[in-house]
Structure 1
Amino acid sequence: MSRRYALYYKELCDLRWNGQIMLIVASVLIVNAGFLLAPHEIHDSFFVAFTMCMLTLLMQGNLMVEEHEQNTNRVLRQAGVKPLEMILIKASITALLTVLHLLAFFLLNGYSWIQIFKTLILVSPVIGMFLGIGTLLGQASKNTVDVSLYAWPIILFYFLVESLVMNLEPTSGLWFVIIPNYHIHYGMLKLQAGELWGVYLLVPFLWCAVAVRMVWRITRV
């Protein structure tokens, strides 16, 4: 347990001096604050997607590649730190910052606490999916530049699908049902309308399970 606390302490200390991550966090805060203050007709699901892509995905990838850049992987393994343990610690920090950011966004946007709780449940599988993808990108990269190069095609594709989903009727383009964007967008619409939304958890959960499974496999190698 003391080793785990030491690892958390190490990560939090490193976080303060990680300019790349601080820039990501500041950028997400500024952009979302700008949208909150300015009149807009964009649905909240877009801002949720923006936060998860720009914060969850990039931050987790940068945290994971940090050990490669600092050449501390071997030292940590010699100290008995398992790869899965390190992944979970980094993922928990990223997830916490993501949830805090979404919480602030929802509160400032007039959500009730019940709505916030339900919305966080709805988006939690996608947060898990992006944590998994970020971990995989970090493991495959040598530095933060590589993380960005690998992540941006994913981010752009996700935003493209998000923009299409927001402008389509639920019954058009049935192939969208396999994409998590569809379920987050319409799940949030149902939730805000007070209708049943639990069914929209299934597909995001499957995507999350696939990402977690892939991360689990690389820790077994």
Structure 2
Amino acid sequence: MKQARSILAILLFGCAVMAVVDGVIQPGYAIKSLVKLTLFLGLPLWWSRQAKVSLRPLFARPRQGLGWAAGTGAGVFAVILGGFFLTRGIFDFSGLTAALTAGTGVRRENFLWVALYISFVNSLLEEFFFRGFGFLLLRRYLPRRPALGLSCLAFALYHVAMTLGWYGLPVQLLTLAGLALGGWIFCRLDEHSGSLWLSWVVHLGANLATNAIGFLLFAA
């Protein structure tokens, strides 16, 4: 239980600090990324050294499933992008680009580089923190269901806190439910493979879709 408490404390601390950084301090995107890298990578590495627990198995190449994960990622990409086109006449997404510009300094001119970082690097960082550290390791010290639920909840609340004010309440609630479901799917993928690569491939598809939406909104 000592190890479980320390992992949960790092999860909560990382999410809480990033909520303050995103919602209150609102630095530029480069500074925010450095803070997130310190919290989501640095703290687990520190824990690993203190607990003498190797994190290398989290990055082991799965024996099978990468092709299936790539197909699922493509399907997620299509669903998210299709959902945007179906609902843009119902929900108001106009505040998204304004919130990005005001809160993090992301503009049309630098959005390409931010989108590439979010898609490839940030997604891997989140998979390591929420699925690798926050589930695969946590389930060693807690029963499976609590570990799964806590990982999904932390993942969903972190993202909702990060996007407060971007959308209206209906979209926020829909986003919370979708993120919790997505976290559950990611955990199940990693549970079967024992590493975080399958969930990262699917996460990559989701991030590529949301960034494609960002390009469309900036171009509007």
Same structural fold, with TM-score higher than 0.5 when normalized by the shorter chain: no
- TM-score normalized by the length of structure 1: 0.41
- Higher relative contact order at CA 8 Å, sep ≥6: structure 1 or structure 2? 2
